[in-house]
Every structure is written in structure tokens, then in C-alpha cells.
Structure 1
Amino acid sequence: MMARPPKIAQSVLVVIYTPALEVLLLERADAPGFWQSVTGAKETPEEPWERTAVREVAEETGIDAGAPECRLTDWGLENVYEIYPRWRHRYAPGVTHNTERVFGLRVPPGMPVRLAPREHTASVWLPWREAANRCFSPSNAEAILWLPRWATQG
């Protein structure tokens, strides 16, 4: 079995939400009790942020971010954070920080979700404040707390 190439330390965070500001959270398969929005690394350094966001949403939830009833928005926010030690082995030696670009994806109420079982074991729709409180990642919680501002723009 061939080893996977190291992950690129550039990723997206996609806050998926309804017009009523209910937020989709996913429970990590490799860390039970760790809830988060969709996240994922670029496949190449040149991959555009939006393409990464669309791909990761499709892979992790089965949602087509480009569907007419959906609206993907680049919030223009980037977080740089230290990679948790438990996940550093996925990156090249010496890589300790990741740059995360934040997106929002508005979907209609009742949007079906199809989880990638290797990545997530459960999903839940929660009111935005409750969702922020459940996130294990401070940058994810902060992005959700920005949701009311971003949801009223554009």
C-alpha cells in the first residue's frame, strides 16, 4: 500500500446553514465528540479556494454547492492556526500551522445530507448559537458566530 502524500496546509471551512440560520455540524469519525463544519485541504497549492470548498462539501455531505437553490459565499476571512498535534502526522515534517479560508453555504431547509462514513459518523442541524457552542475548533465557532452578519449580505 502506497503512503498518502502529505496534506497541504491550506484548507477551507464551510459553514452550511439555512435561511433560519440553522447550521449543519458533523461529528468526526476519528474523534468522537468532536463536532465541526465541513473542512478540507486543497488537493494542490494552485487549487482555487472555491473549488476546494465545492469539492469538500460534496465529499463530506453529498450537497452540490453549485445547485441553483444553494448559495456559496467566500467570506474573505482566513484563519491561521496551529495544527493539533494528534493530526500533524498528516502533513510534511515541520509543518505546524494551517491557513483556513472561510465560506458560507446557504441551503434550503430540509436539505438531505449524505455523510462520508470514513470522515463523519453523525450530523445535526442546530440554531447558530448552539452550533457555535458545540464546535471543538475555536475558529469554527467564531465563524458560526459571524453568520448573522454574513447571511444578511448579498
Structure 2
Amino acid sequence: MNAPNRYELFVLDEGEAPVEINEDTKIPNAATIKILKQDHTLGNMLRAQLLSMPEVLFAGYKVPHPLHPHFLLKIQTDGTKTPDVILSDACNRLIGTLSSLEGNFKREFAFKEADSSGAAGTAGGTFTTTDDPYGTGAGSGGGASWGNRDDYLDF
């Protein structure tokens, strides 16, 4: 009904800037940054990354309205760096973290495929009903106890 078309939530219009930075005049070393065509996913990751940086005194975000595809990110620094430089550093660190996560995921998935390709009951590394991705014991139907052996979490 009132909801915009799905593509309007993530496709930038012609000439539309994805980021708008407004310096805060009341708070020193602070800025409000409007990031268009994004939602809580990016907002929360950026907030968490910013808060892990020692130069940041405050970082928070809000989505003003669910039908408007943008969020506002508020950053206050200790003055050693400006909020826009801190945001750029946080984005670069976040990209590095996500690249590392992707590499680890692909490596672990490759290990799983290698283990599956050599196991009995598999053809070419494809999963069959005897494969057990949750570590409960093949064919046990979930009857194996989690506490008495190493599982895939290895805590």
C-alpha cells in the first residue's frame, strides 16, 4: 500500500549522493551522517566498529522511519581525528573484518567438502541423508549428546 517499490530501498537515483555529512555546531568534534539506501544491518556494524576505536567518544545510529531507506549515524571524537576520517577508518576496518570472515568461511566450507568427498555414501562431495552437518552422529537422528564429545563448535 504505502510501502515503496523494493528497488527504491537500495538503488540510488541518478546524481544522488550515498552519504551526507553535517557537522554538529552544538557538540565539539561531532557530526551527523546520513547514509542513504541502507538499513540496520550496516548501521549496527558501523556503530560497533566505531565504538571499538579509542578515538571515538560516542557513536550511535537510528532509522527515523521504516519506510524511509536511510539511517542517521552520530559520531563524536576526542578531537585527534575528524568524524569523517574516523568513519572512513571504521569502514576500511569493517571491510577487512568481513574479508577475513569470508576467507575463513570459504576455507572451512572447502574443508567440509573435502571431508565429504572422501566419506562413504557421498558422490562427488554432495550431501546425502547420512551426512550430519550438526555433529549429532551420522544417522542417530539427534540422539547423540552434545556434552559428552567434541562438536563443531569446539568451545
- TM bucket normalised to smaller: under 0.3
Which structure carries more strand by proportion? 1
Which structure carries more helix by proportion? 2
